Structure 1
């Protein structure tokens, strides 16, 4: 007779002969998730701190469709005037995350710096730097103030540098809502690009020609790339178009969608601006309050840059690196003219060619054939 197998415990193994069935009912341990990068970078405020800083959210600076913006001040271990943005819409959490994710990849002096956040209660909050001079839109359209021509160009150069940085990153960032109200100005009039709630990342590995993201159209009327509006293909060049609208707005101190402009010229801002450039009537675009400030050659060069950015065909628009270079050339041209300094290879190097013999200084033409707008196709460019 064969002996049955013993069910007693094996002293050597230390294991019980029968399985522990209760172990199957135990809940698996949750792995501790690492906090997102922005949670490690920025300070976490309590809702009580934000209420105290904003006088219980009574110091409102503005309001949008998905958030309210408040001015606040912290007086303690952290002393600083700040802006608190409260996201309260149904899409608030998603917009909050987009705003928080982008800054960790955009460390640049011309990009608005964030300070902290708060995720207590039903809303989400972002705390950022306070810009004493508000935004470019208010400065352009407030009749009580007048930005000089050089200051306007300097602001445009700074904003262009910030946008170039976004586009040149890995992955590239498409801001998707470039407009004058999203260019903020600090106490020294230094520009900062803000509001990244609807920004998009361009997948790495795509070439310049096919680097687009198919998405639902979003942005601000008047600044939207017509190609993006028509196809739903968002690209880096969509930001370039929007920046071209800003350049024309800066030049004219007129809004891209303005009833008085439609009444005066029978068309919206961009169509009239482009027509003026094509007809060599750039002087009509210029803010009349700056008539005596702008060197004629600089005026034409600036308008050409804006026109090139606002080309209806995205593939024919310049890159932001090209735009930065051309704006810097134009400002240098203006400053040398004001100082009575002649252009020469020794003083300017290869940035700007010297004027031809017996040629007036203001008639000099800039290099960079890829941004030339001498051959206008008005029929194509005016087709919306």
Structure 2
């Protein structure tokens, strides 16, 4: 039976104390079990019923699952999320989530799985609980000034998510997530990002060369984040994830949804096309979330918009790798910190991450004006050529 109201976590008492004095140690699976069955804890259906108050602690709905909040290890000592995959087609999505190689889970920016349950007709995955839910909710939900994500915090979240995605793309096998979006970037109590939801992910066969590293598949993902090339060819690649991440970068900058109908009605094009048009026309300021207008250095804004623009290129071959994206975002954050701390930096370093404006709108340089307001010529220096010793100068 479902409790009529949620218990008070501060009481430290579990709603079913007699049935839940401690968390049962699961039986060890046999050696013929799947690798994930030997790696994670197996829960019984009764244990999950107790943990979620008979699945009464509803936490939302995923694309292929129902999501509940739960408490394990006695009382309210440890919060978890329980995802239930319905019996109809749910098993295949459950397996995709569980079969992600364990070494790919061993990264601070990938959501960790705690256990699973395969009792009854449905399938269940137990994972970490993220107090700040997801990036989408923080960007688009109703928030007050205390919870509004600052520019620095947004950059840090993007860097963490980019590192997680780079890790998925590296190694053997490489993993293509296929559904990168702001709602699949979860945030822990310290606002640290974790990539989640691998129900439609794919492994890239190790026999494929880098130039042919695609998987032929049906179109799947979320509208607004889908790679245009995937729609035309049915081939999903690691660059498909890069495109989706580029959309997320623009979304973080603007706090506007990729399927924003207002943009479509006013501009006659979708959000990503409009964002890209603003970059091409040197109107990046129109993209910026007005709540952050006093936080973002002008050159830092241009550098960030430039990498989002490159990621969201319609031609996959012209998009950067996630390794390049990580380096660029890290330098942009360092650039912002230098400006805020009034620390001088090398002009050649600045020119390697900030594209020159098509038409300078900066006023003439005045005596003792900060270095970051100077317009520098473009440089052949790439991020990969950057020498960390050159960043700060006396």
TM-score, scaled relative to structure 1: 0.82
In the alignment, which of 67, 73, 76 is matched to residue 74 of structure 2?
76
The residue that corresponds to 1:95 in the other structure is: 93
Give the Å deviation of 1:77.
9.6
**Any idea what the Cα deviations from partners look like across 1:232-268, whole Å, max 9, x if unmatched?**
0110000000000000000000011011121222221
In the alignment, which of 281, 291, 299 is matched to residue 279 of structure 1?
281
**Any idea what the Cα deviations from partners look like across 1:292-318, whole Å, max 9, x if unmatched?**
000000000000000000000101100
Bigger Rg over Cα: 1
In the alignment, which of 343, 352, 359 is matched to residue 341 of structure 1?
343
Q: Work out the CA distance in 2 between the residues paired with 1:103 and 1:203.
A: 13
In the alignment, which of 50, 59, 62 is matched to residue 60 of structure 2?
62
In the alignment, which of 345, 365, 372 is matched to residue 361 of structure 1?
372
Contact 1:209 1:315 in 2 (8 A): no
Contact 2:328 2:383 in 1 (8 A): no
1:128 and 2:127 correspond:
yes
Q: Secondary structure at the match of 1:102?
A: coil
**Any idea what the Cα deviations from partners look like across 1:114-163, whole Å, max 9, x if unmatched?**
00000001100000000000000000001314100000000000000000
Contact 2:344 2:371 in 1 (8 A): no
The aligned runs of 1:1-384 (5 Å cut-off) are 34-76=32-74, 79-102=77-100, 104-106=102-104, 107-144=106-143, 145-344=147-346, 360-362=371-373, 363=375, 369=382
Count of aligned positions: 335
CA separation of 1:65/1:301 partners in 2, compared to 1, >3 Å: closer, same or farther?
closer
Q: Work out the CA distance in 2 between the residues paired with 1:186 and 1:260.
A: 31
Q: Work out the CA distance in 1 between the residues paired with 2:87 and 2:213.
A: 31
CA separation of 1:121/1:332 partners in 2, compared to 1, >3 Å: closer, same or farther?
same
Q: Secondary structure at the match of 1:93?
A: helix
Give the Å deviation of 1:206.
1.8
Uncovered stretches (5+) of structure 1, i.e. residues with no partner: 1-31, 372-384
The residue that corresponds to 2:24 in the other structure is: none
Q: Work out the CA distance in 2 between the residues paired with 1:370 and 1:332.
A: 13
Give the Å deviation of 1:64.
3.3
Give the Å deviation of 1:105.
3.4
**Any idea what the Cα deviations from partners look like across 1:336-363, whole Å, max 9, x if unmatched?**
1000111159xx999979xxx9983144
Uncovered stretches (5+) of structure 2, i.e. residues with no partner: 1-29, 355-367, 385-394
TM-score, scaled relative to structure 2: 0.80
Contact 2:352 2:382 in 1 (8 A): no
Q: Work out the CA distance in 2 between the residues paired with 1:159 and 1:182.
A: 10
